[in-house]
Homo-oligomer: A and B are copies of this chain.
């Protein structure tokens, strides 16, 4: 399928296999089925083409914010760092699928669960700019996950990142998560950076 570039819409292919700038340190199933073992992975932004010889591939599209309000968006835009910072030698890829019950909820109730009850946006803000993040949407692409969440941080902030992830998993929002895999990565010093 040819992919026409649209402003603010960034397609990604995450390809795991033998090669990649991120060495896979562990793949842990949090809920539901895990993903196959692999040595390394690549995060390829700009298209949705398949990658030959990959152990597995996940696809997503980064786009407009689905839940944030004006003041939250302003706060995020102000403090959110770019990906690919030299000091960020750790990364995490956490693909997530939410339940049919979640997707059948109206917009206002999903927003209430995410923010007013789970403080997802507020919690995320507290860990910025230490943890750089990107959210890719996968559901509309017919993918096995609804989201691919991507995080980059320095070793010094590894404990803070565990804290962030642990807090989110204890929220009412996470009741609706039916599949989650936690993949931890380390930048491969021998590989060229792509950003």
Chain A residues in the interface with B (C-beta under 8 A): 1-9, 11, 48, 50, 59, 61, 63-70, 72-73, 100, 103-104, 106-109, 111, 137, 139-144
Q: Is the CB of A141 within 8 A of B142?
A: no
Residue numbers in B under 8 Å from A5 (CB-CB):
142
Q: Number of copies of this chain in the oligomer? A: 2
Partner of A65, one of B48, B106, B137, B140: B106
Among all A-B residue pairs, the 7 with the closest Cβ atoms: A3-B142, A61-B140, A64-B103, A69-B108, A73-B106, A7-B100, A70-B106
CA–CA, A2 and B7, complex, Å: 26
CA–CA, A89 and B5, complex, Å: 36
Q: Is the CB of A48 within 8 A of B142?
A: yes
Q: Is the CB of A142 within 8 A of B1?
A: yes
User: What is the minimal beta-carbon distance from A105 to any residue of chain B, in angstroms?
Assistant: 8
User: What is the minimal beta-carbon distance from A65 to any residue of chain B, in angstroms?
Assistant: 6
